[in-house]
Structure 1
Amino acid sequence: MSSERSESVVHTHSSTSSTVTHSQPVLSNVEKGLPPPQADPTPVAFPEGGLQGWLTVLGGALVCFCGFGVVQSFGVYQDYYTRVHLNNRTPSQVSWIGSVQVFLLFALGIPAGKLFDDGRFRLCIGAGSAIFVFSSFMLSLAKPQQYYQYFLAQGVGMGTGMGLMFLPAVSVTSHYFRARRSLAMGIVVAGSSIGAVIHPIILNNTFGRPDGFAWGVRYTAFLDAGLLIAANVLMKTRLPPKPSKLRPKQVLKEFFTSDKPYILYAAGSFLVVWGLYVPFFYLQLFTALHGVSSVLVTYSISIMNVSSIFGRIVPNLLADRYQASEPHAVMIPSTMITAGLVFALLGATTTAGTVVFGILYGFFSGAFVSLASPAAASFSTKPDMSDVGLRVGVIATVMGFASLTGNPIAGALLSPPHYTWWRPLLFSTLVMLSGCLLLLFSRNSQIKRRKEGGVSR
């Protein structure tokens, strides 16, 4: 009888368990009309380096050496075009060549970022390398006073190649680094400063010779071709592609309607970049017109970019000490100092003044350039970082529109042939300080959301 009672209890317990097991999904899925619950994505583990991780960083640095390094060397072209090859054009018109180049480098961030997130990294890097090298050789064939040839080859062609390469080369480091992401991205972007040291030296030492422009550009094109081949071999992705089911328009709507810290960051970045590149475009012309020694004129851009190498690594080391979510803590004060230095250029009319300005501006401006991408990545809302490419790409595009107009505005304010320098320098200083204010609001908003349990990382 005891056995029958036990069997009855067991049967009752089994029936109850069966009932509970089968009734719960019915209530949650059918009666409530909800989809089955899904587990949260498992956060991805990051190796924080490794051989392939550091090889990828090296490859990214080579891409920046060739692409962004040319952008930061445009001051050499600006000076040479204004005084020699395109002396029938105003400084503002000449600066449109470099501005379109920078614009495309940044503005192609959204399509390049989307392709990167969709697993098309090789397509971006390979196609970008080919377009960039081809356009470089075409620039060497441009004839004096033929503005459209320089504009198409250097502005449109080289800018398109840069735009396809730059963001994927920087973003791929996020596959290998998290805690040390700012440092890794800083090393990648520091490659641009090294390139901006080497390119001006080659160009300035060849432009003064017969056929010097053509061969100077070809020398740099051959150098860039070899380095880009190496970069394509060295860089590899690690994480599987995470194609977004949302269209870019939907993603942009999400970013700019529900993410207040990100909106403020985008607006602040626009204003900072509006004025940031004025010294990179006009420093060599400034020193030449103020009677600084010809040797220093030749090396003024290189001095600034040597200092920028350290400016793109040291601040990133400090940012990592605040963890990957706090690059703003270093970027904002560095950018405020940069803004003040722009106006200080007015007093740098001697050899010593030019050297001091170049060292200081190169260092502090490098902090914003190298920390802009880690700062944008810190707004990622995905545990697997699958939206990093698009988020960084959107910010890059915003900065592209700023760079498109900032330098031509400065050139117009310069008012040649009298060259009223305080106007463009004051413009640059004010817009950068305004941008710093918005970046500060962005950081405070992000910290507040994190404390309230938001998703900013």
Structure 2
Amino acid sequence: MSSSNALELQTDRRIASVVSGEINAVNTRELPRDIPAEVELPSLPLPDRGRQAYLVLLACTLIQAPIWGYSLSFGVFQTYYTTSPASPFSTVDPASVATVGTTLNGLMYLMMPISFTVLTRYPGLRPYCGFTGLVIAAASLIMSSFATRIWQLLVCQGILCAIGSGLLFAPTTLYLDEWFISRKGIAYGTLWAGKALSGSVFPFLMSSLLSRFGAPTTLRIWAISLVIIASPLLATLKPRIPFSAATARRPLDWRFLKITSFWMLQVGNISQALGYLLPTTYLASYANDLGLPTLTGAILIAVYSLASVLGSLVTGFLNDRLTPTTVILLSSLGSTISVLVFWGLSSGIALLSVFAIFYGFFAGGFSSTYPGILHEMRREDSNVDTGLIMGLLLGGRGVGFLIGGPFSGGLMKTTLGGLGSIGYDTQYGPIIVASGVTALFGSWGWMWKSIKGIISLVQRV
């Protein structure tokens, strides 16, 4: 057992001794610190193992499909909206349609610090939050099927769908955090692998539906499917710590905001997010400019998504065994090499395919490093609320995504030139360099820790 996991369980044991001498320390993770001594708590199920824990893990993984299915497929809808004669948006500026997608993804992440904070403070709201999010998401898709103006599309798909999907995601993630302690890394890795797998399936599924039925019918089909898929999964999710009058309102501990290492890791998180979407955003266009078949771009994105499944699982596994800065460094270095070497030097399908595999594995698994950050924060302050930290990490990712849109637009207006018939010599050269640099600075937490160690060593000498 790692030192961070041992610390978590020692903390649970200390809390348990105050609350009830009969509750095993493993069973009392993150109980509210203001529970009256006279309150009797039932024996809690063990975390990390058993039928209930794995049912929650299965439900949390499967529900990633309805949560992220539409946002991961928006590129397909964007192409349909701007090119299909049947679309009422075919004459609209493509940049306006693209704004819907960036709003959808950015808002989903930016609302997570708020939703995670509220649901950590009031855990009894979690079951209602999930079903409310499901209703909002399904209703937004149905309403958007009747949209004829771009502002209607923005409100329905960009704002309401983001709110609904975000409310659906937050409680399921907090349930997972409650059920897994020593195996938190592989649990979160499995969850993100579910998202990555959805990214390899849904674009093709939505493309097929759009070509056959058009956007309005496809949106209604997906709205109905979303309810059918998500409803039983939400019913399966159960808290490990029961909701009671004593736990209806939990005090929040924000002292982790004073921990310098949290902010250094957050800087790396935002940096990685800033350039993370750039390769997948422009990969299809780059392949098309090379004269490759139109289908090549979709296939490369699917390869990237499938590689992300394995990357998420492996990264999650490593998080339970190595320090978070080490795992983040491996992810960042692998991503940087993938971009600067395999994409930057590519002039054909061979290196592009290698790039999609390696970038998907290393960059696609970056979010699975978050459990390691949670362990690190618990090591420095045993009383931190991991739900709050997770919400802020996801919010930081959203900040990077939103900045990345206009950032990439500015890069596309510049060129490098003079480097031969490779990626650096195309209009995508600045994109390639920026993606590599931001990926490298994703390991800023490790860099800061190393610099701090060197300075300390010099001072001692």
Whether TM exceeds 0.5 here: the answer is: yes
Which TM-score band applies after superposition, normalised by the shorter structure?
0.7 to 0.9
Q: Does 1:132 align with 2:137?
A: yes
Aligned to 2:53: 53
Aligned to 1:100: 103
Runs (4+) off by over 4 Å: 78-94, 346-349, 381-386, 442-446
Structure 2 Cα separation of the partners of residues 272 and 60 of structure 1: 25
Would the alpha carbon gap of residues 329 and 381 (structure 1) be closer, same or farther in structure 2, given more than 3 Å must change? closer
Aligned to 1:226: 228
Aligned to 1:453: none
Flag the structure with larger Rg: 1
Shift of 1:443: 8.6
SS of 1:321 mapped into structure 2 = coil
Structure 2 Cα separation of the partners of residues 242 and 263 of structure 1: 30
2:387 to 389, 398, 401: 389
User: Which stretch of structure 1 is more off in the superposition, 122-131 or 283-292?
Assistant: 283-292
Structure 2 Cα separation of the partners of residues 220 and 386 of structure 1: 39
Identity of aligned residues (%): 23
Shift of 1:442: 5.5
Shift of 1:334: 1.2
Aligned to 1:281: 281
1:168·1:389 contact (CA, 8 Å) conserved in 2? no
1:203·1:217 contact (CA, 8 Å) conserved in 2? no
Structure 2 Cα separation of the partners of residues 311 and 106 of structure 1: 21
TM-score, normalised by the number of residues in structure 1: 0.77
For this pair of structures, how many residues does the alignment match? Answer: 395
Would the alpha carbon gap of residues 341 and 285 (structure 1) be closer, same or farther in structure 2, given more than 3 Å must change? same
1:203 to 198, 206, 209: 206
Aligned to 1:36: none
Shift of 1:186: 0.9
The aligned amino acid for 2:327 is: V
Structure 2 Cα separation of the partners of residues 387 and 133 of structure 1: 31
1:198·1:302 contact (CA, 8 Å) conserved in 2? yes
Shift of 1:439: 4.7
Would the alpha carbon gap of residues 310 and 90 (structure 1) be closer, same or farther in structure 2, given more than 3 Å must change? farther
1:340 to 328, 337, 341: 337
Shift of 1:289: 4.0
Would the alpha carbon gap of residues 443 and 58 (structure 1) be closer, same or farther in structure 2, given more than 3 Å must change? farther
Structure 1 Cα separation of the partners of residues 237 and 96 of structure 2: 37
1:74·1:280 contact (CA, 8 Å) conserved in 2? no
User: Which stretch of structure 1 is more off in the superposition, 326-335 or 70-79?
Assistant: 70-79
The aligned amino acid for 2:52 is: Q
The aligned amino acid for 1:329 is: T
Equivalence map 1:291-370=2 (5 Å): 291-322=291-322, 326-343=323-340, 344-370=342-368
Q: Does 1:255 align with 2:261?
A: no
1:331·1:367 contact (CA, 8 Å) conserved in 2? no
2:428 to 421, 433, 455: 421
User: Which stretch of structure 1 is more off in the superposition, 182-191 or 109-118?
Assistant: 109-118
1:320·1:327 contact (CA, 8 Å) conserved in 2? no
Structure 1 Cα separation of the partners of residues 355 and 69 of structure 2: 20
Would the alpha carbon gap of residues 113 and 380 (structure 1) be closer, same or farther in structure 2, given more than 3 Å must change? farther
Structure 1 Cα separation of the partners of residues 96 and 345 of structure 2: 26
Shift of 1:40: 4.6
Please give the root-mean-square deviation of Cα atoms over the aligned residues, in Å: 3.1
1:138·1:153 contact (CA, 8 Å) conserved in 2? yes
Structure 1 Cα separation of the partners of residues 173 and 98 of structure 2: 26
User: Which stretch of structure 1 is more off in the superposition, 176-185 or 285-294?
Assistant: 285-294
SS of 1:293 mapped into structure 2 = coil
1:380·1:391 contact (CA, 8 Å) conserved in 2? no
